[in-house]
Amino acid sequence: MQLHRKKRIEIILEAPGLRRLTEILERVQVTGYTVLPAIAGNGRGGPWSEAGQVTDAERMVCVMCLIDPARTDEVIGPIFELVKRHIGLISVSDAEVIRGERF
């Protein structure tokens, strides 16, 4: 079995920014991504939780995607422009996948 090197990008962002984030991913032709709820954590501002939140205004989401390493800068740049205006973070790590042609 052959493994193919990719970059895994994870973006944690306030839920109201999700639509803009997915528009950016589609504009830079990221072929697939997954959105997960971020239900609790601890960061620079201390612990947080979605418990008791009535609206999406303070909820967080995590968006993950895998891309070809050569595209990292072109994908990360526009995402950073969005995230720098919101509570959130971007992480990039190395990944290996079995079906490399899908990313």
pLDDT for the residue 75: 97
**What percentage of residues in the chain have a pLDDT greater than 70?**
94
**pTM of the entire predicted model:** 0.87
pLDDT for the residue 8: 98
Give the pLDDT confidence of 66-97 residue by residue, as tens digits.
999 999 999 999 999 999 888 889 999 999 99
pLDDT for the residue 31: 83
pLDDT for the residue 88: 87
* Strand partners for 41: 48
Burial class (CB in 10 A: 0-12, 13-18, 19+), 60: buried
Burial class (CB in 10 A: 0-12, 13-18, 19+), 56: middle
Host domain of residue 77: 4-102
pLDDT for the residue 103: 75
Please count the structural domains in the chain: 1
Tokens read off for 62: 């995590």
pLDDT of 55 above 90: no
Q: CATH no. for residue 26?
A: 3.30.70.120
Give the pLDDT confidence of 11-23 residue by residue, as tens digits.
999 999 999 999 9
Helix and strand totals (H; E) in the chain: 2, 6
pLDDT of 58 above 80: no
